[in-house]
Structure 1
Amino acid sequence: MSGIIAIILGFGCLIIAFIFEKGTVGALLSPTAAMIVFGGTIAAVMLSFPIENLKRIGKVIGIAFKTNKKELPELIAYFKDLAFKTRKNGLLSIESEISADEKLDPFIKKGLQMVVDGVEPQSVRDILELEADMTSERHRSGAAMFDSAGGYAPTMGIIGTVMGLVHVLGSLSTSNPDELGSSIATAFIATLYGVASANLLWLPIGSRLKNIDKEEVTEKSLIIEAILYIQEGVNPNTIAEKLKGFLNKEELAKYETLDKRVEA
């Protein structure tokens, strides 16, 4: 939701500022400039990436604007509680934990299931790290498409402007001098579209995807370590202390509050 608000705010500020400068919204509308900039940008991205990547663009956009970040303090509290249960009832008790929680993250579920099945700790680590790396690679690939669009869009805007100026100069001898300024202004709309879309849409979405990827890498690393600690039978309080290394100051304070609430 915050991403959509940011896009509306960015473009809204540009339009309002233009109106304050005694411009009109209609002056910003140019279907031909939009075709050149957005059509050209999309075509360039399609040429740059394989079709398999392009097919995932809808899912990538969904990831960028969907808020599904897990709270690390809550994850640590979950694994600490799970560690207490396994010390009391044994590792096989995890199976009931898996089946009872239908909303359990598939990545956590997969790791815990391997523990129940008696898979070697190193194999558990290798399998989970490989899955995490492949997920991260897909995220980076999605971000790269938007970064590329951010690079192509201003260039397409310049192309659109040059095309417009060629048309203006070509009809200079026959056109009305009073309309010349308006025609030149219209030609520069393409540059505006290219620069604005690159810096308020394509590049920010690419950066957003990279940040989401970093958060998910941290989250999956915490999950992997927690599952392996539980498999090794590490003391629950020790597990929590080790996993606190993944938290920043704000998250650490939140965990301490959450932990005290649970103990009470």
Structure 2
Amino acid sequence: MKCGTRALINSLALHPDVVTAEHEVGYFVGRNYDRGLEWYRSQMPTSRQNQITIEKTPNYFIKSAVAAPRIHAMNASTKIILIVRDPVARAVSDWLQFCRKFNQTHIETCRTFEGSGILAANGHINPKCAQIRRSSYALEVDKWTTLFPLHTQFHVVSGEKLVLDPVSELKKVESFLGLRQHITERNIAFEGKRRFFCMVSDDGEKRCLKPSSKGVKHPDLIPHVEATLRAYFKQLNQRFYRQVGQDFGWD
């Protein structure tokens, strides 16, 4: 979550051989799992034989111990796409979303990021804090790649590159999914001062993400707290780079 999942799935929906679920189903980690596979199928869009169906639920990744084996049991040939970004920026964005979504700006944990619970009483990073845990990609990825082999069934997208050069990242995803190359510069339009991209269908219809929830300005972090965060994530990042065979340059 907070790495560009909505932008990614909306972009892939531009491809004529892809259909996407309209909402986050959450089947493999939620109470609806007991309703069975037919219920899950009922949440999916109608597709033709030559089309790929995609759904996104960010919680699948952080609840990998449950989600990964359940997905594998349903269909061992399923392909998994993970999108990631700088873990510090992701953690701040996660915190901002919580505080804005639930209008919690008045409570102590939402007054400053530093006071949100990311730090333990001794001043060290609190690994149990949700924002920190969800940014610790290395702690989860092995649970996926042992079931879904890297390169053939597990693909990692750079959230930073998706923003700066969406077409190149989307072409990689097309190749991973075995799709014909379709998405080009004609399907992307950059708008606004911060140059966020909108998706443009082949018939010219433009679809942009809600500006109220995307591109929210992050607060400036206290320098020593940011340094502490960077130091904490450095080893986890290096481990993640080795796991997926890709250096994202966050250090």
Q: Common fold, TM-score beyond 0.5?
A: no
Relative to the length of structure 1, the TM-score reads 0.22
Q: Which has the larger radius of gyration?
A: 1
Relative to the length of structure 2, the TM-score reads 0.23
Higher relative contact order structure (alpha carbons within 8 Å, sequence separation ≥ 6): 1
- Please identify which structure carries the higher helix content: 1
